[in-house]
Amino acid sequence: MSNKETKAQGQPGTTGLSPAAEVKTAMAGFLSDIKSLHDDINSRLQQQEERLTMLDRKSLTTSRPALAAAADHDAPHQKAFEAYVRTGDDDGLRGLQLEGKALNTAVAGDGGYLVDPVTADNIASVLASTASIRAIANVVNVEATSYDVLIDHGDVGSGWAT
C-alpha cells in the first residue's frame, strides 16, 4: 500500500469519505501493491531462468562428447556393394580393405578370479560332490615339456640306519 496511515473520521486531513469507501480505496491500494509485487517476482524469476539457461548452454557445450560424423554415402564399400548387387561385379568387393576385430575371453595361467578362502572351499566342495572325476583330479600348470610324478608302490618300512 502506498498510503500506510489510517485516519479517524473526525480528524483534520480526512476527505470525508464513508467507512465503506475508505475500505474500498484501501483494498484497491492493497490489490495494486500485491499486483506490483507479483509482477516484480515474475520478472525476477524470468531473469533467473534466463541466467540458468545461459549457464546450462555454456556448461553443456564443453561436456558433450563430439558427435559422430555424418555417414559418408560415397564410401568405397557401399559403392562396391551397389556395383555387386546391380551388375554382379565382385572385383570392387575383393579390393576392399577388411577390418578384423576379435575378442579374447580366456584367462591367463597366472590370472583368474579373486575370492575369499571360504567361498573357494564352498566352490571346490560343490564341484567335487557333483562330478566324480573332480573329487580326485586337480589342475597343475606345467611350463616344461613333461610332468613327472613320483609314486611309491612299496610298503612303508622302518629300520635302523647303519
* 60-85 pLDDT tens trace: 766 666 666 666 566 788 888 888 88
When divided into structural domains, the chain yields a total of 1
**Residues in Cβ contact with 135 at an 8 Å cutoff, skipping those fewer than 6 apart:** 128, 129
Residue 133 has which C-alpha cell? 572325476
Looking at residue 7, its pLDDT comes to: 62
pLDDT tens, position by position, 7-50: 655 555 556 788 999 999 999 999 999 999 999 999 999 999 99
Looking at residue 63, its pLDDT comes to: 64
Measured CA to CA, the distance from residue 90 to residue 80 in angstroms comes to 8
In a domain, 160, yes or no: no
Measured CA to CA, the distance from residue 95 to residue 98 in angstroms comes to 9
Decide: 126 and 134 in contact? Cβ < 8 Å.
no
What are the start-end ranges of the H helices in the chain? 19-63, 76-87, 91-94, 117-130
In a domain, 3, yes or no: no
Among 38-47, 99-108, 128-137, 150-159, the range with the most confident prediction by mean pLDDT is 38-47
Q: Which domain holds residue 55?
A: 18-63
Looking at residue 69, its pLDDT comes to: 61
Q: What is Dmax (Cα atoms) for the chain?
A: 142
Q: What are phi and psi of 118, to 5 degrees?
A: -65, -45
Residue 30 has which C-alpha cell? 492493497
Looking at the chain, the whole-number percentage of residues with pLDDT higher than 70 is 76
In a domain, 116, yes or no: no
Mark 107-138 as b/e (b = at least 16 C-beta within 10 Å): eeeeeeeeeeeeeeeeeeeeeeeeeeeeeeee
Looking at residue 12, its pLDDT comes to: 53
In a domain, 36, yes or no: yes
Backbone dihedral region of 13: left (phi > 0), alpha (psi from -120 to 50 degrees) or beta? left
Looking at residue 70, its pLDDT comes to: 61
In a domain, 51, yes or no: yes
Query: What stretches of 1-157 adopt beta strand conformation (E)?
Result: none
